Structure 1
Amino acid sequence: MTDFARPIEAAAPPFAKTLLPLLALALAMAVGFTMMGAFGTVQEGAKAELHLSDYTLSLIQGLSAALPLAVFSIPIGIMVDRYNRVRMMIALAFVWTLGTVLTGLAHSVPLLFVARMLTGIGTTGALTAALSLCADFCVPTQRGRAMLIVNLGKSLGVALALALSGALFGLFAHGRAPAWFAGMMPWRSVHLCLAVVSMLAILPLFLLREPVRQEVAAGTHAPFKVVAGELWARRVFLIPLFIGQISVVMADAAAGIWVSPVLSRTFHLQPDQFAGWMGALLFGAGVVGAIVGGLSADRGQKSGRRGGLLIGAILAAALGVPAALFPIMPSVPLFGVAVGLLVTCGAVTGVVTSVALTVLIPNELRGLCIGAFIAIAGLIGYGLAPTLVAAASGMLGGEAHLAQGLAIVGVVTSAISVVAFTMAMRRAPVSATA
């Protein structure tokens, strides 16, 4: 069996030679984020069958993702810094696949909650490992392009969660697909079908080999006291960087969870009517955002300015403020344009933040920092943002005001991210080992 990757020595290989392992990571993340986001596309079917309220849906979609992230992301991040990351990715891929199967079989709120938890643990844990691997497959000056490829996979997964799930929903709902799953409800059949796709699509991970770690300051097995000291020394940079990206995640998480209900309730569209074009829109926006984010980060490093690689994140966060008004747009085309801009801006900040962590933070801290980012962003972004939207719409008069509540949450969180990224840029360290 041919290996996709060879250990990286002191002399960096040409970037083209890293493409195969990066594409394997990108494919895995595409699958993971498809599994993670699929339920949001067909959640109205689950709501009708299981008699769920919007608050219950917000807990299933938000808290079920936030709790495991808060509990498992930091331990997974520490393991990523110390153990074989390829093996961890394979194990986590099986976790998200199991969660997808259980989602399709769940007949109670507690089981559905657990199923979504497993999907979130697998996908976000694998993202931590993938970003750490991505950094060691290339040198720092190539990491913007490398992160671009992995984030393209993530963007593809977000798009497929809408497009593929919506298309499958239409096939099962209208009887145009074989009765593979014994006449189950369409939303259940969608998840079982996706689980089969997942098992096939993660096979390339078995061809990867663990690369040699780069930019190690204290050693991958340094005592926790030493690691904690290094982390504390970088707090003035990490805290505003955390706040900036978490605020972006809040806006994106709220949009991702509630975009389908807004289209259904406000514009009276069914999943199979909007899933195709929304999926294409989100993928296109993710591609553009990943490209802009990766290239801006590499160019920012070459500018010589302190924290220059964060310039792209600041500009993208600023554009995200008006884009967050998408729920209250007067027409579907304007709705689509604003959503596309918001997703593009989120992709830019995500790539730039990932590059910042891999360029400005030592190797033995990267998994921990990425895990902490995911934990806090998950707890606040996925756990709080969707419920904030439901609470805001309730204060405005009830579930009929979902669009207005979503717009308020998006604008406020996007504005906070602009301020935070600006502070992070001013406080950025000179290098990973400085």
Structure 2
Amino acid sequence: MQNSTQAANAWRILFLLFLANLFNFFDRTIPAIIIEPIRMEWHLSDFQLGIIGTAFTLVYAIAGLPLGRMADTGSRSKLMGWGLAAWSGLTAVNGLVGSFWAFLIVRMGIGIGEASYAPAANSLIGDLFPAHRRARAMGIFMLGLPLGLLLAFFTIGAMVKAFDSWRAPFFIAAVPGLILAVFMFFIKEPKRGAAESVQVSQERVDRPIRRVLAVPTFLWLVMAGLCFNFATYACNSFLVPMLQRYFLMPLQEAAVATGVIVGVTGLFGLTLGGWVADKIHQRVANGRLLFAAFSLIISTLCTAWALHSGRIEIGVFVAVFSVGWLFAYNFYTCVYTAIQDVVEPRLRATAMALFFAGLYLLGGGLGPVVVGALSDHFAHTAMLSAGAEQMTEAFKAVGLHDAMYLIPVALFFTMVFLFLASRCFVRDAKRMKEGLVAVVEPVGAAVTA
């Protein structure tokens, strides 16, 4: 009876974590959808547009380190509650600003609020679900990503059209987040390591960051995550404006097409991917990471072909790019779970904070600004090649399209690092389990004495 009650509580908590994750990605996606109206109003370059995403991710990554440590040592529910309230409130403030720099500063504040969430939520999931169910639980949690993106891409354009203002979505998005923040404070947390097969010490760990960085699998996964986030943030930041410029689509249609590519695919990729990953893991110890590496091969080929085909039918572009993104989503269920398998429970939030720091500082932080800078460069090159003296929207369309080739390149390197991580995963997972047993033995001896 107690086990069934604990299981039901775990799924209820997971549902709340999923909802908060959905709002997390919904809120952070708004600027990427309305980027063209912002560019026109404030006369910005693509490099400046990239800075909006980069500033957010840099602050997100830096703030995530101390907040991740707080999640390992303090109340995860309170940390998530205050963080959700902060980023939701600042999202509303984003709709009030009147300049590029004010907009940028508020986005950085939102980054601090959102940085409190992922390490604490991932740590909670690791304590709520045993190893053989974590990929599925992580898949459900990460459904907040595609659903948040899907909801944003399918509704933001309509909001802008209905209110005739790009500011309206920020006010609307803040309301549900502020309401959900209240529920976060009532989450009943499990003990750290409660889902492990052996008892886990609740004592603090000395030199936690050094302990985490000593795990080879973790380092390879950080490299993979760096490349993967470069690709995803570049895609999420510039796919809507690329469709508007290169394929001449209106904002609402471009947003919906992007929603299909990065949102609908995630619904299938994360649910089916988590289930397949768990099945493979039961037969092959490092099967999750091999499955993720294979998925990234397909993702690389599909995204590269879609871009290389030029101005093909928009339906064909969306279909092929969507197949690539469908397989790319297997990264989340496989890699996040692999980190849980090689890092002991007391260090998991710290590990996730370090992981996200690598992802966002050097991955998500660089993706938008590098693609934006290359877009400006390629647009200028196209203008000179045409013998023109004035920049036009046509040259900007070519520049942004060509800069997006960095996406399949980054996905290819993600695949390489995932394969390298798979080679040392079994050894590191075994070492983690042996370390848990070693921690328990002195405790048991003391009790007996």
Match of 2:24 in 1: 32
| 1:268 aligned onto 2:248 | yes
What code does the residue aligned with 2:37 have?
G
Matches within 5 A, 1:173-188: 173=164, 186-188=165-167
Question: Partner of 1:126 in structure 2?
Answer: 117
Q: Deviations over 1:158-179 (max 9, x none)?
A: 2122112122112112xxxxxx
Match of 2:429 in 1: 430
Which structure would you say has the larger Rg?
2
Aligned to 1:333: 315
Counterparts of 1:161 and 1:402 in 2: how far apart (Å)? 26
Indicate which of 309, 313, 329 corresponds to 2:292.
313
Shift in Å, 1:262: 0.5
Question: In the aligned structure 1, how far is the partner of 2:46 from the partner of 2:253?
Answer: 22
1:287 aligns with 2:267: yes
Q: Is the 8 A contact 1:159 1:280 kept in 2?
A: yes
Report the number of matched residues: 410
Amino acid at match of 1:392: L
Rounded to whole Å, the distance in 2 between the matches of 1:228 and 1:30 is: 29
Give the match for residue 64 of structure 1: 55
Task: Say if 1:111 and 1:290 are closer, same or farther in 2 by CA, change over 3 A.
Answer: same
CA distance, structure 2, for counterparts of residue 98 and residue 291 of structure 1: 31
Supply the distance in 2 between the matched residues of 1:189 and 1:41 (Cα, whole angstroms): 13
Closer/same/farther in 2, CA of residues 13 and 316 from structure 1, 3 Å limit: farther
Deviations 1:61-111 (A, max 9, x none): 2x2123212321111111111111111111110121123112111112221
The answer to whether residue 102 in structure 2 is matched with residue 101 in structure 1 is no
Q: How far is 1:229 from its partner? A: 4.7
Please tell me whether residue 405 in structure 1 is matched to residue 402 in structure 2: yes
Structure 2 CA distance for partners of 1:117 and 1:328, relative to 1, 3 Å: farther
274, 278, 285: which is aligned to 2:258? 278
Q: CA deviation at 1:21?
A: 1.3
Question: Partners of 1:263 and 1:229 in 2: how far apart?
Answer: 44
User: Corresponding residue for 1:352?
Assistant: 334
Q: Distance in 1 between matches of 2:291 and 2:412?
A: 15
Instruction: Identify the residue that residue 212 of structure 2 maps to in structure 1.
Output: 231
Match of 2:301 in 1: 322
Q: How does 1:183-262 map to 2 (within 5 A)?
A: 186-214=165-193, 215=196, 219-225=201-207, 227-234=208-215, 236-262=216-242
Do 1:217 and 1:362's aligned partners in 2 also have CA atoms closer than 8 Å? no
Shift of 1:394: 3.8
Secondary structure in 2 aligned to 1:105?
A: coil
Corresponding residue for 2:389? none
SS in 1 for 2:44: coil
Letter in 1 for 2:336: S
Cα separation, 1, equivalents of 2:14 and 2:421: 28
2:301 alignment partner AA: P
Alignment partner, residue 161 of structure 1:
152
Deviation, 1:423, is: 0.5
Q: Work out whether residues 31 and 202 of structure 1, in 8 Å CA contact, stay in contact via their aligned partners in 2.
A: no
Decide whether aligned partners of structure 1 residues 172 and 228 sit closer, same or farther in structure 2, where only a CA change above 3 A counts: closer
2-structure distance, mates of 1:40, 1:397: 20
Pairwise CA distance, 1:17: 5.3
Say whether 1:113 aligns with 2:127.
no
SS of the aligned residue for 1:97 comes to helix
Summarize deviations over 1:110-146 as a string: whole Å, max 9, x none.
2111211222332343122111111211111110111
Alignment CA distance shift 1:13-1:433 (3 Å): farther
Instruction: Tell me the equivalent position of 1:183.
Output: none
Q: Offset at 1:28?
A: 0.8
Structure 2 contact 46–375 (Cα < 8 Å) conserved? no
Structure 1 alignment gaps of length 5 or more: 1-5, 174-185
| In the alignment, structure 1 residue 152 sits paired with structure 2 residue 143 | yes
Q: 1:81 to 1:395 in 2, by over 3 A?
A: same
Question: Residue 14 and residue 203 in structure 1: after superposition, are their counterparts in 2 closer, same or farther (change >3 A)?
Answer: closer
Provide the rounded CA distance (Å) in 2 between the counterparts of 1:38 and 1:374. 21
CA contact (8 A) 2:82 2:181 kept: no
CA contact (8 A) 1:217 1:433 kept: no
When normalised by structure 1's length, the TM-score is: 0.88
Query: Is the Cα–Cα contact under 8 Å of residues 169 and 271 in structure 1 kept in the other structure?
Result: no
Cα shift at 1:252: 0.9
1:288: Cα distance to partner? 1.2
The answer on 1:48 being equivalent to 2:40 is yes
Contact 1:257 1:386 in 2 (8 A): yes
* Counterpart-to-counterpart distance in 1, 2:113 and 2:362: 19
